Amino acid sequence: MTETTRILVVGAGAMGSQIAMVCALAGHPTTVTDLSADALDRASTQLRGRLDRDVSKGRRTAQDVAAAFARLSFRTDLDTAAATVDLVIEAAVEDLQVKRELFARLDRVTPPHTILTTNSSAIMSSQLADATGRPDRVANMHFFNPALVMRCVEVVRSPDTSDATVDAVVALTHQLGKQPVLLNKEIPGFVANRILHAMRDEAIHLLEEGVASVQDIDLACRTALGHPMGPFEVADLAGVDIGYRAKLARHAVTGDPRDLPSRTVTEMVERGELGRKTGKGFYRYDSDGTKHPRPEPEDRP
């Protein structure tokens, strides 16, 4: 992997667009594709706003940002965009069938040498590799939100992933200024999210048992454990539905009832209370993002 490595990011959501900008900032010609032109326009606008703020605060130079945008393109035509790339990072919806269809299509339209990676932490690359004719060049490359800030990238090989593919993805991760964490064995949730979900499961258990409130559980994690955010704050930031789908995906693999989403999270998803993005989650949020405690269940209208 060199600075001329051509990268395609599939999916222009918050993760996909930020991953693409990380690649462009590191010097790589990068294309973002999405089915929706509106999604691409939103991604471009949001990235420009975020990078302009970084420049105003002295975190980046205007020259570096301008050069990155010159390397970054936004397209709806996946097949044309994929025709000359060296590596794909898929960041589409967390749906196994959608991803399998997408990987089969990418296998048809990318050059034979192209490495195909998925940003998913819920779907393992072995669940996608057999939809392609190149299982040795398929792996997980899992970034964390917000991708422009978080340094960790989990690189996960399937039983069929070649050493050459792993080495290339690890090398690229370093080039992006990130810290690779290599998993030589697939496991649902990988490393960081398994630890995070175990902590969140216990936090929800304490909440459902009436041991302590959302605010006090988060406060304990911040002030006693040194976490920058409590588990409920993290859930709201990432999206309550993201954790919900991750639990469903893990249960689909393990069949263990303990891996199903909790009653609390299931009811929140059914009500559309998905965290910051909907203004309600474990906390409620003003339009400017200011956080407020939610009333206790018995006090809610």
Count of C-beta atoms within a 10 Å radius of residue 69: 16
3-state secondary structure of 7: strand
Query: How many angstroms separate the CA atoms of 105 and 102, rounded?
Result: 5
* Catalytic pick among 120, 121, 126, 158: 121
Contact assessment for residue 90 and residue 63, using Cβ atoms and an 8 Å cutoff: no
Helix/strand/coil for 170: helix
H or E, element range at 292:
strand 291-293
Radius of gyration (C-alpha) of the chain in whole angstroms: 20
Q: Is there a catalytic annotation at residue 113? A: no
Concerning whether 142 is annotated as a catalytic residue, the answer is: yes
Q: Would you call 154 a catalytic residue per the annotation? A: yes
Close Cβ partners of 294 (under 8 Å, ≥ 6 residues apart) = 214, 280, 282, 283, 284, 300
DSSP states of 73-116: EEES-HHHHHTT-SEEEE---S-HHHHHHHHHHHHHHS-TT-EE
Note whether 40 and 72 are within 8 A (CB): no
Q: What are the angstrom distances between the C-alpha of 190 and each of 16, 22, 88, 122, 172? A: 20, 22, 20, 8, 20
Cβ neighbours of residue 295 closer than 8 Å, sequence gap 6 or more = none
**How many Å separate Cα 220 from the centre of its chain?**
27
E strand or H helix at 20: helix 14-25
Question: Choosing from 94, 125, 140, 142, which is the catalytic residue?
Answer: 142
Is 90 part of the annotated catalytic residue set? no
What is residue 36's three-state secondary structure? coil
Which residue is catalytic, options 90, 154, 233, 273?
154
Candidates 94, 193, 233, 273; catalytic one: 193
Which residues does the annotation mark as catalytic?
121, 142, 154, 193
